[in-house]
Amino acid sequence: MPEVILHIYDVTNSGSAKTNNTIVNINKIFKDGIGLGGIFHSAVQVYGDEEWSFGFCENGSGVFSCPPCKNPMYAYRESIALGETGFSISKVNQILRELSREWPGNSYDLLSRNCNHFCDQLCERLGVPKLPAWVNRFANAGDAAMEVAGNTALRLRQAKTEIVSASKVAYRFLATITSGSQSSPSPDSSPSASTSNRGSPRFQASWFRNLLPAPGVKLSGNPEIPDDDDGRPRQQTPEQLQQSEEHNFRRT
């Protein structure tokens, strides 16, 4: 069975010798030094003296071939044997024709649809392991970062919408309370209506104020506080407090 071989290049087609040297040094540090990854071009060889890869073009398929390890746009680095395919040469050619239609050149994207993604899919179709993770790690990390940034922006927009909606609800609630506190009760209001209003913020505030003693009055003992006609506790005058204390004293 024919062997499937992955050829890897340093990307040195920037048009600037300084930039190309920088990329080579990055690959040496991050791949050769710590095994993390780098900026690479890849191609797959199976049957014959051609390697297959993918690149950008305005029209037609982005799938192309060249002699193995001889791509003039990049600096050859190394080759990795991925395994053997059980497909015949005619089946492999069929797979390549299908991929040629599925990978037009104008669909190329540096982060999400580059030559390494194409080689991954070709290897999957051939039934051999995909590329080592370090080959395309930088592109995958960049694509993931873009996706995270997009999701974060979406969540921020959703949170802003929810805050605005909550603010509108709070404003309507406060406006209802304000309009209710400004309206005075009708003279012929029934006792049941008065009782039903006791849970309102207006009633609670008035009830709390009536609990406080008059200025300059010091409460002693536990005087019984009579109720007004509307059922609310009534504030007592100093004379009433004194009478209440004398009454309690006589009772004891």
Please give the positions annotated as active site.
41, 115
- 190 token code pair: 């029934």
Residue at 20: amino acid letter: N
Sheet strand arrangement including 3-10? 63-66, 51-54, 40-45, 3-10, 75-84
Say how far apart CA 252 and CA 244 lie, in whole Å. Answer: 13
Helices (H), 28-108: 89-102
Q: Which of 130, 26, 134, 128 is nearest to 84 (CA)?
A: 128
d(CA 44, CA 53): 7
Residue 177 has which token pair?
A: 């309370």
Helix (H, G, I), strand (E, B) or coil at 201: helix
User: Where are the alpha helices (H) located in 103-200, listed in sequence order?
Assistant: 115-126, 137-182, 191-196
